[in-house]
Structure 1
Amino acid sequence: MASLDAPPVGTPTIRWRVPEMHPEGRKFVFIAGALAMLGYWWFGWFAFWPLAGLTLWVALFFRDPVRVTPQGDGLIIAPADGLITMIERVPVPRELAGENGLGDAPLVRVSIFMSVFDVHINRAPIAGTIRQVVYISGKFVNASLDKASEDNERQHIVVEGRPDADGNARRIGFTQIAGQLARRIVPFVKPGDMVAAGQRIGLIRFGSRVDVYLPDDIAPQVALGQRSVAGETVLGRAGASAATGIAQ
């Protein structure tokens, strides 16, 4: 006979757990930890505690929490954690334009600004095949500024979804943009790779932005000032009404 305290059959037991740290962060945690020990050795507790706090922050920066990605046709999932700072129709970057990319007509761009306190693991907005990965070196101005999309170090990615019944495949382009503190964009994928929606595709070190370009049949489902969660927030949806006005 089942215990009265036992959960109903089929009910999962959910427990909170500390997010794991991505392997990319291990060397930085080691360096910060070594500095903390050296600070203690040379200057005592006065130097140790600030450097120990820095070590903890570095570990938290590279945290890689588990995410549950919504499933459904026509969904575009947020590729980054952060603040929705811009939703506007703009020309497509030349690296993403053309018949092998997103075309030449202006598209709606949704910009997600990641502070140094956000999770910086980026995820695929749709399931499909990576068609383009284009890296461009550049400056490191504030990633929240509009000109960062043209001036900063950045990486453009195009994902082509699975063909529908008519053989048409939707393409989603997005751009990882380095910020003032970010000094490297780390890719996890290359052209030809198959990805699932919400799969980890890269990270940007230390504060940055991600721009997502939505096709005309996709309506934004987020509003300015909203916070998105990579791999979970529905950024856009086919056949839906837009959640907010779009700057032209």
Structure 2
Amino acid sequence: MKIHKEGRKILFFTLLGLLVVNMLLYYFNSEHLTFNRIFSGVSFIVFLLILQFFRSPYRNLLLHEDLVVAPADGKVVVIENVEEPEYFNDVRKQISIFMSPINVHITRNPVSGIVKYFKYHPGNYFVAWHPKSSTKNERTTVVVESLAGPQVLFRQIAGAMARRIVWYVTEGDEVNQGEEFGFIKFGSRVDIFVPIDTEVKVQLGQKTKGGQTVIAQLKTSNSGSFFG
């Protein structure tokens, strides 16, 4: 496992800051050794928590043009038919994955294809499970025309703790299923919108692994069921 590039600068300055504070405490507050040791222990735990947040584990990616794989690690919190007003302007099936602070926060392409639409939206920071987070929070919207034919929309949504969304795609890019398309820092959610006739392969509350868990299978005129 390696550390993701988005976390290296944050980890460096966090470590530097904690070291300086601890050294100053031991220098100017040497008579309170118990407090200093407790503070050092808390500093170590804080650094480990931030370190695990930016971990980038190796993944054996599942690749198939009919399948939609989870774009992130987390838990399925929404499966429903909704009106998608930004791009499709019609009813789509929405699957949402909530990412807690302990999850890997790399976001991955759920399908392979061509990016037909991309837009960044500045916004608020409601908690990621709040109904308004999908339309009011800081977010990005990506639409990929999949190799199987149907277009798939996926949206990075910042949560209450997140203050920055990072993306690596632009319109016209060719993207590969399972590869990174972005990163969300400190708590977030990803919404996926697929055609109504798409077969959902996950259940509410199910945990997912980005690039590995199959969340849906697209319906195409020339494809059968990958699962038999």
Answer whether TM exceeds 0.5 for this pair. Answer: yes
Q: How many residues were matched structurally?
A: 211
Indicate which of 130, 150, 167 corresponds to 1:187.
167
**2:129 pairs with 1:111:** no
After superposition, the C-alpha distances for 1:162-204 in whole angstroms (9 at most, x for unaligned) are 3x6xxxx221001100000000000011111111110100010
Aligned partner of residue 144 in structure 2, secondary structure: strand
Q: Which residue of 2 aligns with 1:208?
A: 188
- Give the whole-Å Cα distance in 1 for the aligned partners of 2:170 and 2:143: 10
Shift in Å, 1:89: 0.7
**More deviation, 37-46/201-210:** 37-46
- Give the whole-Å Cα distance in 2 for the aligned partners of 1:201 and 1:41: 40
Query: 2:65 touches 2:112 (CA, 8 Å); kept in 1?
Result: no
After superposition, the C-alpha distances for 1:29-70 in whole angstroms (9 at most, x for unaligned) are 111101221121122333222122222211111111111222
Query: 2:150 touches 2:218 (CA, 8 Å); kept in 1?
Result: no
**2:21 pairs with 1:29:** no
Indicate which of 115, 135, 138 corresponds to 1:153.
138
Task: Within 5 Å, give how 1:6-85 maps onto structure 2.
Answer: 19-44=1-26, 45-85=37-77
> Aligned-residue CA RMSD in angstroms?
1.6
**2:132 pairs with 1:144:** no
Which structure 2 segments of 5+ residues have no match? 27-36
- Give the whole-Å Cα distance in 1 for the aligned partners of 2:131 and 2:77: 10
Shift in Å, 1:73: 3.7
- AA aligned opposite 1:92: E
- AA aligned opposite 2:102: F
- Give the whole-Å Cα distance in 2 for the aligned partners of 1:133 and 1:66: 27
Query: 2:2 touches 2:55 (CA, 8 Å); kept in 1?
Result: yes
- Give the whole-Å Cα distance in 1 for the aligned partners of 2:43 and 2:172: 42
Aligned partner of residue 90 in structure 2, secondary structure: coil
**2:156 pairs with 1:171:** no
Shift in Å, 1:137: 0.8
- Give the whole-Å Cα distance in 2 for the aligned partners of 1:27 and 1:56: 15
Aligned partner of residue 91 in structure 1, secondary structure: strand
- AA aligned opposite 2:6: E
- Percent of aligned pairs with the same amino acid: 36
- AA aligned opposite 1:63: R
After superposition, the C-alpha distances for 1:72-130 in whole angstroms (9 at most, x for unaligned) are 34101110110111111111032x22xxxxxx321110110000000000000111111
Q: Which 4+ stretches in 1 moved above 6 angstroms?
A: none
- Give the whole-Å Cα distance in 2 for the aligned partners of 1:62 and 1:200: 14
Q: Which residue of 2 aligns with 1:220?
A: 200
Q: Which residue of 1 aligns with 2:30?
A: none
Which structure 1 segments of 5+ residues have no match? 1-18, 98-103, 242-248
**TM-score, normalization by structure 1:** 0.81
**TM-score, normalization by structure 2:** 0.88
